[in-house]
Structure 1
């Protein structure tokens, strides 16, 4: 990594593999610029709906002499995105906003998506399943006292079947200590809630965690 950035951005960059990438809600354009400086991508678009972040992005691009390879785009989501993009990156926002962005864009089979939500993971996975977007792999990361899943996806023509346990807690998840810690954290959270509120939905969550743990051992 050439440009210093947070652990979360670091982990996102690790899974960037498009020749031409578009970072939606680009902030300082650290993802796009680092991916190009690392030789992971040849060209990139730093996209945002507001001018402020694009000004920040422009500074990063100019500082690292990347004006020939990275363009700033004032875009609402992915509408009007250049057709040469083969990987779209949408990270650092809620799952429902990511769904909203994806639902308004044109997604063709073979297009890669790299997604990371800070809430509503279940809704996001369910949307992907119902809209022929396959989750190839996921990893759970921990940054700034928060767990974030990163989803590496591809647009397909068929539906990927995902059971409830994996809709809740991750599909094709990379097994790591962070993921085990995340499951522990979720388990404790629901156990604590159940002390106060006896609801079947919380009992179900504990069952799903147990199901995932059992599958990983077998």
Structure 2
């Protein structure tokens, strides 16, 4: 199966596990690939919508993987029992929704060996939640796929692990300290793209109201801080 860059990034973060849950499976490509590559013995594909779930079911049957998989209708981790899956993927949703899915079924999440999370928007919202709720960050990645940047988190809940002694600034949730430390060229391009997008937004703020000026100041400060991160980037 010819996967997109963002799906390949997800696959590269999946370690061997007994049962993988793909939350919001869409067409089921992740579970098909994981089963074919023996990354899991069993897989559970869930989706809140019947259409995508039926497509996933058909793809799994076509690939001869029906006996090693289960397709279940429902939102988030709701279709799973506690301890049934020991790893999970949540991709294609916003950072806010991904966070809320984790919060809603935290008892199930705590039992898992790891989660692979790839928010489609607002990764900073998810990062702030993960950094402040005893999640151990195993890895973070970024890729450019079809003109859009995607961030990926590999994490596990660890009650012994907390960041209370670390002081995070607001910019650390938007500009990943983990990715910055990697000095990856794609991440540098991602930061430069962020700067250009914020500059573009500023051009649309024409009003001279207090609210508009406050928004412009906020954007200017974000641009300044991201530029500092870029300037400190070696290579």
CA distance 1:36–1:175, shift in 2 (3 Å): farther
The whole-number CA distance in structure 2 between the counterparts of 1:44 and 1:111 is: 15
Alpha-carbon distance, 1:133 to partner: 1.8
Stretches of 4+ aligned residues off by more than 6 angstroms: none
Aligned to 1:143: 145
Q: Could you tell me which residue of structure 1 aligns to residue 196 of structure 2?
A: 188
State the superposition RMSD in angstroms: 2.2
Gaps of 5+ in 2: 206-212
1:166 corresponds in structure 2 to: 172
Contact 2:46 2:71 in 1 (8 A): yes
Instruction: State the TM-score, normalized to the length of structure 2.
Output: 0.82
Match of 1:176 among 184, 196, 203: 184
- Contact in 2 for aligned 1:138/1:171 (Cα 8 Å): no
State the distance in 2 between where 1:40 and 1:27 align: 19
State the shift of 1:57 in Å.
0.6
What does 1:11-90 align with in structure 2 at a 5 Å threshold?
11-19=9-17, 20-82=19-81, 83-90=83-90
Segments of 5+ residues of structure 1 without an aligned counterpart are: none
Aligned residue in 1 for 2:101: 101
Q: Higher mean Cα deviation, 124-133 or 160-169?
A: 160-169
2:87 and 2:112 in contact (8 A); partners too: no
Structure with greater Cα Rg: 2
CA contact (8 A) 2:46 2:79 kept: no
